[in-house]
Structure 1
Amino acid sequence: MIGIPLGLAYCNFGEWFLHKYVLHGLGKNPKSFWSFHWHEHHQKSRRNEMVDDQYTHPSWRQSARTREMLGLAAIVVGHLPLLPLAPFFTATVWYSTVRYYFVHRRAHLDSQWARVHLPWHYDHHMGRDQNANWCVTHPFFDIVLGTRKEFVGAQPPARPAEGQAGVRDRGPLGTVHSFAS
């Protein structure tokens, strides 16, 4: 049963490591297989208030989503040999990998949900520094390794009190919005 907490920690560190060094490190090179993350996913998310419409297309269509799914499938298959030796660990890795996909997908289809439930990931895409906040499902290793930077997703947007005019709120890209009653 120790495999369950070990698997959860391993997967969270894996999110951090792969996001930072593979998806951003290797992915900034336009010729890399991993370039979809930086050159497609980040650009669409940044332009569309966190929403990436590739999650609405069929998965067999060649897209950033397809490559993400291939990478996640490789993680699942790569851990298959561990099943007889560490069944709880392996099952936790598989569970975490599938959960990652669905949580990440929802975050990029529903930006308000992401802002409330995954503010660290919202901050990764919409904050000033897209080279921080590497974890997606939980910020544990961002906190431990000092890469959690709170930006716009850390606080819910301010709403004016009833009858109050001129309340200001900083939007996701630092723009100021005024609310008039």
Structure 2
Amino acid sequence: MNGSATSIWQGRKPTPKHEPIMSLDIQNKAGHDVSGEIAQNCLLTRTRQISRVLTAIYDEALRPFGINASQFSLLVLIVELGPISRADLGRKNHHDRSTLTRNLQPLILQEWVFEGAPESNGRSRPLALTGQGKALLGDAASAWSTAQASARLLVGEPGANALMGIAGKLPQRMR
């Protein structure tokens, strides 16, 4: 990169895994040109748009069961990985503490998820699905299946496979 180009990684050293593919020559472009470039090519913007559209598909399908897509995902993870602590669940699903609590609290209040007694460390309280939670998951499975088919149709098989491949390569969240 030459001295006149400013990397999007300014302020931190890129690792070989995270080398910028392109840099923006900010000194030679007007602000509008830069924002136009970002608006057209920003992976964050595009993935968030895709996420909102896909989430809406699943939310609509799951609404009759009194849960949303985020809550449904937590039910699935808890039954697959449980009993599991909040911290481990948050790491596994890349949730920060407040988002996890916001999505988990209604599940606990509805008695679909049970939070056990503190373990020997005094802090960790394992989460598990209750019988009602397992029944809800079973009842909502057909709605999920319908939403899944709609989402796959929207992104296409190559897109769905690409998304699953990318998700499989995400690093484990450490905190």
TM-score by length of 1: 0.26
Higher helix share: 2
- Indicate the structure (1 or 2) with the bigger Cα radius of gyration: 2
